[in-house]
Amino acid sequence: MEIERKFLVAEVPELERADADEVEQGYLATGADGEVRLRRLGDRELLTVKLGSGLSREEAEIELSGDQFEALWPLTEGRRLRKRRHTIAAGDLEIELDVFEGPHEGLALAEVEFDSEEQARGFRPPSWFGDEVTGDDAYLNESLAVAGAPP
C-alpha cells in the first residue's frame, strides 16, 4: 500500500545536498482502475502496477532485466515523461521532489510517503510547498505522460 500526498512547487529550493536520480517513465496501460508503467530510475529498471486513486493506492513493483525493459519500452511510445528526482530529508520523512524535463519542463511536484493515513493527515508541509494536488488526476504521472501538464 502506498500512502502519499503530492504538492505543486512553484520555486524549487536549494538542492545542492539532495540526492538525485534521472527518471524515465513510460506507461503500458492507464485507466480509471490504475496504471502499469515502466521506470528507469538511475541504474534500475522497474515494472510497477498501481491500483486505486487518492491518498492510498495499492502498489506492486518488480525489477526487470535490461533485455526485459528494452523489449517493453517501445510499447510506451507517446506515453512517456522525464524528470530528475531529488530526495530531501524532512525529519523522519523523505520528500521526493520531481523536477520535470522535456515537454513538462517548468513543472515541479513534491511527494511525501507515509506509514499511515493518520500520519499523512497530520503532515504539515514546508513553506516552499504550493497547492496540494493529492487525488487530482491531472497531476498523476500517467496523466502527465498522456495528456501533458495542466495549464
Q: Which residues are designated catalytic? A: 27
Write out the DSSP string of 18-58: SEEEEEEEEEEEEETTEEEEEEEETTEEEEEEEES-SSEEE
- 51 forms bridges with which residues in the sheet? 34, 58
Task: Match 521532489 to its residue by C-alpha cell.
Answer: 97
